[in-house]
């Protein structure tokens, strides 16, 4: 049955639009190995996806290789959280470099008990705005619920030492909060906290975390948390320097892709030794012809001294189609079964949250946002 445009109720409320939740695909429930083996003998993006899956399996099989997952775009809201969680749970991902939207607006948001909902790309956006619904193509999200997410970020920031932090520290703090509150058992932030998988968000202010930190700083003008993105760069570069080899798995492109690739150049600037990334696969719909980063080929990155030639593969496909197949392939190949987690966060000083303060500005703002949400 074809999905038609969703009708708008005549006397509608926000709840009338937020009815059917986006469900996260389980890549362990089907075996994509036979399909991708068949695709090896096809052409175009089918063959490219099959080769990319083989390269990812090589990364996983090489137990000393540090696998870095780069996330851009709206991967979590689109239903890929469980697929990514499977890669983390089975030690196939050692580090994440992400946009803030994926980690905070989407993963932390869902960990707080909220959801993304199936929507309509042809919806009347003026109607959605009047109902405080934000649209991500064909997905809806409540603006009221996002305000709670913003405020809880401020609440967590109030409990951190007032000093510059790397985004890795701040993502660790969010994971620690979820564990403390026993929220988000399926959250990537919580899972990575428990497995010591570092998460870097180099453009942290460009998301719900930015709103929360802005409120936190306004409330504490003399002593507050700041984001030190240069520290992000140094920390990630040191992890790359310490690794015997590295592999990049890029979903989308943008800042996470370039930030990770650039660590090899940064190491050279710092007088350190870092090998070029040995493996790299990218799933993107961006075009390489305009010279923009997201579509620039991994082969091109070799001219910059960032990625080795021979074990790199571009897949020009949308990630919600390609990643489930690739993740299912590596899961059912089973190379992860003898792979140990690297627990890279353990190489850094553990961040500790201060005890919650009842009258902290962030906590009061979070309580206010929750009360307003109940009224809606």
Domains and CATH numbers, the chain: 18-346+360-375 (3.40.910.10)
Tell me the HSE value of 334 on the side-chain side, using a 13 A CA sphere.
1
CB burial of residue 250 (10 Å; 0-12, 13-18, 19+): buried
Give the whole-angstrom CA distance, residue 235 versus residue 240: 9
3-state secondary structure 30-62: CCCHHHHHHHCCCCHHHHHHHHHHHHHHHHHHC
Catalytic residue among 21, 306, 337, 342: 306
**Residue 372, pLDDT score:** 86
In 38-189, at which residue ranges do the beta strands (DSSP E only) sit?
65-71, 95-98, 117-118, 133-136, 139-142, 164-165
The number of beta carbons lying within 10 Å of the beta carbon of residue 130 is 11
pLDDT digits (tens, 9 = 90+) for 169-202: 999 999 999 999 999 999 999 999 999 999 999 9
Q: Give how far Cα 83 sits from Cα of 29, 86, 165, 179, Å.
A: 11, 5, 29, 21
**Residue 1, pLDDT score:** 45
CB burial of residue 353 (10 Å; 0-12, 13-18, 19+): middle
* Nearest alpha-carbon partner for 257 in 35, 96, 60, 34: 96
Q: DSSP 3-state assignment of 139?
A: strand
CA angle 341, 343, 347 (to 5 degrees): 150
Tell me the HSE value of 270 on the side-chain side, using a 13 A CA sphere.
18
Give the whole-angstrom CA distance, residue 90 versus residue 340: 9
The number of beta carbons lying within 10 Å of the beta carbon of residue 113 is 10
Contact 187, 110 (CB under 8 A): yes
Q: Quick check: is 272 catalytic?
A: no
Q: DSSP 3-state assignment of 311?
A: coil
Confidence tier at 358 by pLDDT (50, 70, 90): confident
pLDDT digits (tens, 9 = 90+) for 256-314: 999 999 999 999 999 999 999 999 999 999 998 888 888 999 999 999 999 999 999 99
Give the whole-angstrom CA distance, residue 373 versus residue 376: 5
pTM of the model: 0.95
What residues have CB less than 8 Å from 355, skipping those under 6 apart? 159
Over residues 343-368, mean pLDDT: 91
Give the strand pairing for 139-142 and 65-71: unpaired
Q: What share of the chain is helix, strand, coil (3-state, %, to 5)?
A: 50, 15, 40
At 249, give phi and psi (nearest 5°): -120, 110
Over residues 33-60, mean pLDDT: 98
Residues in the chain: 376
**Residue 7, pLDDT score:** 55
Give the whole-angstrom CA distance, residue 198 versus residue 218: 28
**Residue 200, pLDDT score:** 98
Give the whole-angstrom CA distance, residue 35 versus residue 270: 45
Confidence tier at 2 by pLDDT (50, 70, 90): very low
Computed over every residue of the chain, the mean pLDDT equals: 94
Q: pLDDT exceeding 90 applies to what percent of the chain?
A: 88
Q: Give how far Cα 138 sits from Cα of 122, 135, 143, Å.
A: 8, 7, 16
pLDDT digits (tens, 9 = 90+) for 85-104: 999 999 999 999 999 999 99
Tokens of 301: 């990155």
């Amino acid at each position: 049955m074809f999905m038609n445009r969703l009708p708008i109720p005549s006397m509608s409320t926000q709840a009338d639009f937020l009815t059917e939740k986006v469900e996260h695909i389980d890549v362990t429930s089907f075996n994509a190995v036979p399909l991708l083996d068949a695709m090896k003998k096809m052409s175009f993006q089918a063959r490219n996806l099959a080769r990319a899956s083989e390269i990812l399996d090589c990364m996983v099989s090489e137990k000393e290789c540090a696998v870095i997952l780069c996330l851009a775009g709206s991967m979590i809201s689109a239903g890929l959280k469980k697929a990514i969680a499977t890669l983390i749970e089975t030690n196939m991902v050692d580090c994440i470099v992400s946009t803030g939207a994926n980690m905070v607006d989407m993963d932390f948001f869902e960990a707080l008990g909220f959801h993304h909902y199936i929507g309509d790309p042809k919806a009347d956006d003026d109607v959605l705005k009047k109902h405080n619904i934000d649209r991500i193509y064909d997905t809806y999200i409540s603006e009221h619920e996002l305000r709670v997410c913003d405020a809880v970020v401020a609440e967590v920031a109030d409990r951190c030492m007032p000093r510059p932090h790397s985004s890795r520290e701040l993502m660790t703090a969010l994971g620690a909060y979820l564990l403390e509150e026993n929220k988000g058992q399926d959250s990537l932030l919580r899972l990575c906290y428990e497995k010591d998988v570092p998460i870097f968000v180099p453009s942290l202010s460009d998301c719900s975390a930015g709103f929360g930190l802005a409120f936190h700083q306004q409330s504490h003008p003399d002593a507050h948390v700041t984001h030190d993105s240069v520290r992000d760069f140094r920390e990630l570069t040191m992890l790359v320097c310490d690794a015997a080899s590295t592999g990049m798995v890029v979903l989308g492109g943008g800042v996470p892709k370039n930030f990770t690739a650039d660590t090899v150049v940064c190491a050279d600037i710092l007088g350190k030794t870092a090998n070029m990334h040995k493996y790299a696969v990218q799933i993107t719909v961006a075009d390489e012809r305009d010279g923009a980063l997201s579509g620039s080929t991994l082969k091109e990155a070799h001219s910059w001294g960032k990625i080795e030639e021979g074990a790199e593969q571009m897949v020009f496909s949308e990630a919600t189609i390609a990643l489930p197949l690739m993740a299912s392939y590596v899961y059912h190949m089973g190379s992860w079964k003898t792979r140990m987690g690297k627990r890279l966060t353990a190489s850094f000083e553990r961040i500790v949250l201060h005890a919650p303060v009842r009258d902290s500005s962030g906590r009061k703002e979070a309580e206010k946002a929750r009360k307003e949400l109940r009224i809606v």
